[in-house]
Structure 1
Amino acid sequence: MNRFVKTAARIALVASLAAGLAGCGVNTIPTQDEATKAAWAEVQNQYQRRADLVPNLVATVKGYAAQEKGVLVEVTEARASATQVKVDASTITDPAQFQQYSAAQDKLSGVLGRLMMIQENYPDLKSNQNFMALQSQLEGTENRITIARRDYNETAQKYNTTLRTFPSILWAKTVYSSQKPAQLFQATAAAQAAPTVSFDPAPPASAPAPAQ
């Protein structure tokens, strides 16, 4: 009987300790860490979706605007660069790797924007069903990327705050001392500058100066 009582008391003690630790936030840091990694995985998923669409887009444009070879080459190279950057869960806590990945994706965004502008100069391309479908999918993907990056930043910010605020900072400095803050996506320099919009007609080309 005494053995039963002692066993029951030990079980009760362990249970109370577990409940106490859970209540004081010992599980908060790993929980938010996993949530941040999941949000990061979704960002990668959306970037990969865009990369998968690019070859078909380039092939479609090439048939209608072969003379735009320079832009097509840039898009292909930017896609290759964006997909060759090696990333994993540790990337979100490594500033250099995170910046490299973000810069490669931003470069692809820029050249894709130039590629989309080509349609204005080629009416046949503008009415091509394949191109229009790909354009629509890319626009949808860009929206998904924006949402995924926003959700990631919100999750990472919450996680970073937990690492620095009381009482969870006590666990961050002891049990989870190896945990590092997550990096955040930031707007590019080009995105921070307001675009210039002008409806004025272009000035006429100046006549060449007469020969002396």
Structure 2
Amino acid sequence: MRKFAPILIIVAILAVIGFWYVGIKNGAIRENQAVGKEWGNVETAYQRRNDLIGNLVKTVKGAADFEKGTLTAVIEARAKATQVTVDPTNVTPEQLAQFQQAQGGVSSALSRLLVTVERYPELKANANFLKLQDELASTENQILTARTRFNESVQSYNNYILKIPNNWFLGEYKEKPFFDAVAGAEKPVDVEFNFDK
């Protein structure tokens, strides 16, 4: 039995190392899948906004003399945003920036639409429009939550694949980018109240 002891010890050490390696790989898969799930939640929230925008545009079109340019801008921004796709398993900072830019275009066009609506009292009083406006506000909160959770899962994933010794075995796993704030978001908003008009 003594002559087999060194072989058993070597086999036991190799088994421990093998299980440890498999554990590291499985952990990376788990973290990567979590990022993919959270990205799906981000896309779902943006899809909900796009669906609501379609209903909002239909409701606003009912206002006879509403500015067609504003509606066209919203429709075009929405179309551009739906064309940008991101693969969460292979996301790059450039892809994420392109996605954010497209979604920022939708937000900007939507803001212009809602500001323009202020000049149409009959539209502001429309129950469908008011309901859609509330749903859009709720959806923007869902988007914020989804983006925050995505960033949290990216942080967990990046921490897992970058820490030693995991990074020795996970060379095929690349660091993933975070959602950043929209350009200019760090500047304070200039609010001006002019009641003399």
Q: Which residue of 2 aligns with 1:146?
A: 144
Q: Which residue of 2 aligns with 1:116?
A: 114
Please tell me the residue identity of whatever aligns with 1:159: Y
> d(CA) in 2 for partners of 1:59 and 1:200?
33
Count, aligned residues: 188
- C-alpha change, 1:18 and 1:166, in structure 2 (3 Å) is closer
Secondary structure, in 3 states, of the residue corresponding to 2:191? coil
Q: Which residue of 1 aligns with 2:45?
A: 46
- Deviations for 1:16-49, whole angstroms, at most 9, x for unmatched residues? 6489427964422111111011101110111111
- C-alpha change, 1:87 and 1:66, in structure 2 (3 Å) is farther
Contact 2:35/2:88 (CA < 8 Å) preserved in 1? Answer: no
Instruction: Give the Å deviation of 1:74.
Output: 0.3
Contact 1:91/1:98 (CA < 8 Å) preserved in 2? Answer: no
Question: Which runs of structure 2 are paired with 1:40-119 in the superposition (5 Å)?
Answer: 40-64=39-63, 66-90=65-89, 92=91, 94-119=92-117
Q: Percent identity?
A: 39
Please tell me the residue identity of whatever aligns with 1:77: E
Q: Which residue of 2 aligns with 1:190?
A: 184
Please tell me the residue identity of whatever aligns with 1:31: R
Provide structure 1 residue ranges, at least 5 long, that are not aligned to the other structure. Answer: 1-8, 204-212
Q: Which residue of 2 aligns with 1:168?
A: 166
- C-alpha change, 1:169 and 1:90, in structure 2 (3 Å) is closer
Q: Report the TM-score, using the length of structure 2 for normalisation.
A: 0.85
Q: Report the TM-score, using the length of structure 1 for normalisation.
A: 0.79
Q: Which residue of 1 aligns with 2:5?
A: none
Instruction: Give the Å deviation of 1:120.
Output: 1.6
> d(CA) in 2 for partners of 1:192 and 1:101?
20
> d(CA) in 2 for partners of 1:151 and 1:139?
19
Structure number with bigger Rg: 1
The reply on whether 1:156 has 2:150 as its aligned counterpart is no
